[in-house]
């Protein structure tokens, strides 16, 4: 560790260089000093004396042995300053510089020692006897009763932090709570055999004909009842129209997948998770193109609460930082969430943050806010989630920042905040994984005042259920970017059907229709309700709840108030064919039919329910006037 880092010591050529200019030796009469007498030439040519700088004591003893003996012969002494690392700084004695200068240097050394070794007294600076051994008392031995911090961000102890010996010793002294691991060495023949068997099994499981059969019998009816099927090619004009209308409806980037991609993903997914994946497609309005080619991939994710304890003394907190950027006003809304185990200890929303000219700036300010909050809470080990790869790179160092970057000051401000934590782990995650913080942000926009946020909407993620993220392939993305805004798509109809091969599947289809369409008025026509099985009647009662029932020539018409004023009215014919009785006027009629009804439905001109039916039910937007919903 280096002593004497004050401005005077940095600029003094005598104190910095440790090799002063040729010393002037005063004669016996006290007259003007004269240059020292050169040493007689030696028979052996000695190596030139190197400028030592600041060395450890062992290095000084090796390189300055001859200089020490010469100093002894000349009756001179050198003052040595030391700290707890036993590093030394060689200084000229005050007698060579005059009484006034020597006193000044002594005072400066005491101030510097007190500045750089605050836990030790500056009185530990003392003269070294005139000895060739340069034996020094170590301040480390004198201060053994004081705790030592090896890794610290205190700039007063920076030199101790840079002591490589201390760091190496610290690493060697580390202990682990993990028990010893027994490593087994096994031959590769058995592993190779298992791999070959798995490859053969995959070839059978993913046989195209087998996938098609599984798709038609089990998966396709679920997709139809969720209004996800688009029975056209990917580059068809109707697909262009559906892409534009979906974007206008959900105000988000529309996506497509193929029936082949759906089946490949489902076969590799636990069957109890299939329904969650299909619900994800419906929630995001990801239409399924019925082509047996691959155009997308799905990322499989699980929410977690950050790194767990590495040991009994290392505990991690987890934070989420999100931002919503408003380009028109150059403002942003920010939301931060900090977890300790499974409890939220801090939840903050910032509305209308100014001077945000890019999404990167918005995310950087959100990260700055959460790091500052975590620092104020005294958190030392922190895992930070962000959905911006650029800001994640700023924190973990993969982002190259130069002064030419317009956000250099902001980026460096959050990068410097790393030093406030012992351990800071920055992780990029998709926005879908940050549902709690994202939900907080939306709640803050609706309710600017402080409100109590229920954790109930996070139950799905906090209970370890899977989250999904579907993305198009590069080729499909490039092609979809060329899609236009056609005026017409599929022809509009009022009546549609869903073909099902089992009575109980109608309950699932009925539930899917209600959940996806969310009609403001719902009618369900059931033929001979009293003759249905007890289980069927129980399921219908649980699903539809209390309703007004009217009887029309053997049919029971259930009238249910759904309560969503933004949607239209829906009539579901539970038993296939429309009754020959007057029905209420509705926006959409859906018949739950079987294979035996195909002929009658074809003569009636009833079409199968599709993704376009969802657009028609809510009202398509006019390409010439995006803000106005019209008829197609």
Q: Which residues of 239-249 are buried (b: 16+ CB within 10 A; e: fewer)?
A: bbbbbbbbbbb
C-beta separation of 280 from 145 below 8 A: no
Q: What is the pLDDT of residue 200?
A: 93
Q: What is the pLDDT of residue 325?
A: 92
Q: What is the pLDDT of residue 384?
A: 95
C-beta separation of 124 from 141 below 8 A: no
Q: What is the pLDDT of residue 158?
A: 59
Percent of the chain as helix, strand, coil, to the nearest 5: 40, 20, 40
Q: What is the pLDDT of residue 614?
A: 92
Give, rounded to a whole angstrom, the gap between the first and last alpha carbons of the chain.
80
Low-confidence ranges of the chain (pLDDT < 50): 1-34, 42-45, 50-57, 61, 76-98, 115-154, 627-632
Q: What is the pLDDT of residue 125?
A: 42
pTM here is 0.70
Q: What is the pLDDT of residue 69?
A: 58
| pLDDT tens digits for range 501-547 | 888 899 999 999 999 998 988 889 888 888 888 888 888 888 887 67
Q: Which residues of 407-425 are buried (b: 16+ CB within 10 A; e: fewer)?
A: beebbebbeebbebbeebb
Q: How far is 589 from 605, CA to CA, in rounded Å?
A: 13
CB 508: neighbour CB atoms within 10 A? Answer: 17
Ordered DSSP codes for 275-327: HHHHHHHHHHT-EEE--SS--EEEEEE--------SBTTB--EEEEEEEEEET
DSSP letter, residue 226 = T
Q: What is the pLDDT of residue 624?
A: 54
Q: How far is 267 from 349, CA to CA, in rounded Å?
A: 41
Q: What is the pLDDT of residue 447?
A: 58
DSSP letter, residue 165 = H
Question: ∠ CA 390-471-437 to the nearest 5 degrees?
Answer: 55
Please provide residue 558's backbone torsions phi and psi, each rounded to the nearest 5 degrees. Answer: -95, 125
Element of type H or E holding 333: strand 331-340
C-beta separation of 52 from 64 below 8 A: yes
């Amino acid at each position: 560790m280096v002593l004497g880092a004050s401005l005077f010591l940095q600029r003094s050529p005598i104190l910095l260089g440790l090799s002063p200019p040729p010393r002037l030796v005063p004669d016996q009469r006290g007259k003007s000093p004269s240059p020292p007498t050169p040493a007689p030439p030696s028979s052996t040519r000695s190596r030139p004396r190197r400028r030592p700088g600041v060395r450890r004591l062992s290095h000084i003893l090796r390189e300055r042995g001859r200089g020490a003996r010469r100093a002894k012969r000349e009756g001179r002494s050198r003052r040595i300053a030391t700290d707890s690392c036993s590093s030394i700084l060689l200084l000229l004695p005050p007698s060579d510089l005059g009484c006034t200068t020597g006193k000044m240097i002594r005072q400066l050394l005491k101030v510097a020692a007190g500045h750089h070794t605050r836990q030790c007294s500056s009185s530990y600076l003392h003269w070294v006897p005139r000895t060739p051994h340069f034996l020094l008392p170590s301040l480390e031995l004198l201060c053994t009763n004081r705790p030592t911090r090896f890794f610290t961000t205190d700039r007063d102890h920076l030199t101790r932090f840079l002591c490589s010996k201390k760091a190496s010793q610290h690493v060697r002294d580390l202990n682990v709570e993990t028990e010893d691991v027994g490593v087994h060495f096994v031959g590769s023949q058995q592993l190779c055999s298992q791999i070959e068997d798995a490859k053969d099994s995959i070839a059978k499981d993913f046989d195209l004909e087998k996938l098609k059969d599984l798709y038609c019998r089990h998966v396709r009816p679920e997709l139809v009842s969720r209004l996800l099927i688009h029975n056209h090619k990917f580059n068809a004009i109707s697909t262009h129209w559906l892409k534009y209308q979906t974007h206008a409806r959900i105000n988000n980037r529309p996506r497509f997948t193929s029936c082949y991609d759906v089946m490949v993903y489902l076969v590799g997914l636990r069957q109890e998770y299939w329904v969650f994946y299909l619900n994800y497609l419906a929630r995001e309005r990801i239409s399924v193109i019925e082509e047996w080619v691959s155009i997308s991939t799905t990322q499989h994710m699980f929410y977690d609460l950050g790194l767990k304890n590495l040991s009994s003394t290392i505990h991690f907190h987890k934070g989420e930082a999100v931002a919503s950027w408003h380009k028109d006003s150059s403002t942003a809304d920010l939301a931060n969430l900090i977890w300790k185990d499974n409890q939220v200890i801090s939840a903050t929303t910032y509305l209308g943050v100014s001077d945000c000219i890019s999404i990167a700036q918005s995310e950087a300010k959100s990260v700055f806010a959460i790091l500052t909050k975590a620092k104020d809470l005294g958190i030392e080990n922190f895992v930070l989630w962000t959905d911006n790869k650029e800001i994640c790179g700023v924190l973990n160092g993969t982002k190259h920042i130069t002064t030419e970057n317009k956000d250099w000051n902001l980026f460096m401000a959050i990068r410097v905040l790393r030093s406030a934590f012992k351990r800071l782990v920055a992780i990029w995650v998709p926005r879908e994984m940050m549902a709690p913080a994202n939900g907080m942000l939306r709640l803050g926009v609706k309710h600017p005042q402080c409100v109590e946020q229920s954790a109930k909407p996070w139950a799905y993620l906090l209970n370890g259920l899977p989250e999904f993220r579907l993305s198009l392939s590069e080729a499909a993305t490039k092609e979809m970017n060329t899609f236009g805004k056609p005026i017409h798509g599929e022809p509009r109809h009022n009546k549609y059907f869903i073909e099902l091969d089992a009575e109980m599947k109608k309950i699932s289809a009925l539930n899917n229709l209600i959940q996806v369409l969310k009609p403001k008025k719902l009618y369900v026509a059931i033929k001979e309700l009293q003759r249905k099985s007890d289980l069927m009647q129980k399921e219908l009662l649980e699903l539809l709840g209390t309703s007004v029932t009217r009887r029309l020539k053997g049919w029971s018409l259930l009238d249910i108030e759904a309560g969503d004023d933004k949607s239209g009215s829906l009539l579901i014919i539970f038993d296939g064919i429309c009754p020959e009785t007057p029905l209420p006027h509705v926006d959409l009629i859906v018949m739950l039919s079987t294979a035996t009804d195909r002929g009658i439905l074809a003569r009636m001109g009833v079409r199968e329910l599709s993704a376009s039916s969802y657009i028609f039910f809510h009202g398509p937007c006019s390409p010439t006037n995006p803000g106005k919903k019209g008829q197609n």
